[in-house]
Chain A
Amino acid sequence: MSGYEEKLSAFLDGELPEAEARNIEAALARDPSLQAELDALIAADAAVGQVFEDMLAEPVPVDLARAIRDAPLGEAANRSEAPRFGLSRLASVLALAMLGLGAAGGYLAGVSNAPEIAAPAGWLADIADYHAVYAGQTRHLVEVGADEADHIETWLTATVGAPVNIPDLSGNGLTFQGGRLLVAAGKPVAQLMFTDVDGDVVALCLIRSETPQSGFETRAIGAFDMVTWGGEDANFVMVGDRGREDLSEIARRAATEV
């Protein structure tokens, strides 16, 4: 071989000095097998990039986001070294079990439902965490895209156990992007994502409830504003960035559509 072969990756990454890169170019032009090597590396890189890209779309355990949200500031360094990995392992395994099977969901729901009032706040706090994770994911905003709207409605209705209808919010300048299935406070939650002309994300979330809320309520959690209301067998929340002025209007519009 030419001896250039092992520099092909550096060439591909633009990491070679110009003179060396020129030499490789010349070698590529006269040596088809070297060019084939380069093509194989390029193909491998593209395939690897796709695998890594797909990982971003995987669901993030909400326990992980919750652990960060609830973490003390400037104090963790004082904890003893030993139990670190072990303790958090348990939380992660629980989170994975919850997401994977839904079986542990009962456990977590039991925990967060214990005080009657904590339940709604709990699910909204989880929704805020999810919104922080996903609203920044412009390329992985949704799990199932808007082109499969019918599927989203049947899939989420069946999973959440309450009717999921995609509202038409085009009158509010919002475009439907698709949906996700989340787990909040141990229960499945349907999340429908919309974007406005600026690309800002507004999400409508729905959770099954035996005792839906009456009337509309506005609150702020974390960096987001939320408008909540109740519907048939379900509670709804519209989530947008803090200070979004038309959120209440959007929520009221959605309430007539869902």
Chain B
Amino acid sequence: MMTVEKMSRVGRIAPMQRPRLEVVSDWAENRDARPVRGNGVLAGDLKHDLIALLPRLRRFARALTRSVPEADDLVQEACLRALSRSDQWDPSQPLDRWMFRITRNLWISEIRKRQVRLGEGQVPAEEATDLVSHATGEASVALTDLGAQIAALPEDLAAILLAVSVEGYSYSEAADLFAIPVGTVMSRIHRARKALAQKIDASEGAAR
């Protein structure tokens, strides 16, 4: 069992530093004159926490959209949506997970709108992301080679990989976030890693 545990941790990326929520709650306690909304969320603190979350939200949005300007639009919309629904946020739940969900849902609905505009009608979310290909173009120029390879992954592979490998989602949590079966998470993670492993191998081969 030890070996299994050990093996499965090998090469795992340490989960990113979470925003310092303990500090945030200190602020909440120290401030008494702030307007209290809904279930007691301090609106000013939510804004502050959202701003602190921006680097990770932008990263997630970039994995979804594969485009820097689109990612920033999406993040802004997601944050405004969250602020307009701050009474729906359960502060006992992590803000990052709530925001990733809002961001992902907004992106899916944006894609569906574009499909309708293009006259292609409604498509299942599963297939929808595949039809948006911003993988090439100026947005990816600044990325490293591997960054471009990640952006070029089809469907929502990059975002699923980010959620599981970096943000610490379990397969069942990722299945919930992306509204796909656990088995699909498993196969997409594997496809993503395998594709990237092959690219790395190929580029190392070329360098030799």
Contact = CB atoms under 8 A, between A and B. Distances in A.
A223 B48 contact: yes
Contacts of B79: 67-68, 71
B129 interface: no
B126 interface: no
Contacts of A89: 69, 73
A52 B27 contact: no
A47 interface: yes
Nearest to B18: A136
Given A15-B171, A85-B73, A92-B69, A139 B17 contact: yes
Interface in A200-258: 222-223, 241-243
B39 interface: no
Given A49-B166, A52-B59, A64-B54, A74 B20 contact: no
B77 to A, nearest CB: 6
B52 A136 contact: yes
Counting chain A CB atoms within 10 Å of each CB, the highest count among B13, B80, B161 belongs to B80
Interface stretch (A38-46, A163-171, A172-180, A187-195): A38-46
Interface residues of A, number: 69
Interface string B176-208: 000000000011011001101100110000000
Interface of B: 1, 3-5, 7-13, 16-17, 19-20, 23, 27, 30-31, 37, 43-45, 47-48, 50-52, 54-56, 58-59, 62-63, 68-69, 72-73, 75-77, 79-81, 83-87, 110, 143-144, 146-147, 150, 161-162, 164-166, 170-171, 186-187, 189-190, 193-194, 196-197, 200-201
Given A60-B55, A76-B83, 12 more contacts: A44-B197, A45-B11, A45-B193, A47-B200, A55-B59, A61-B72, A73-B37, A74-B37, A76-B80, A92-B69, A136-B17, A139-B17
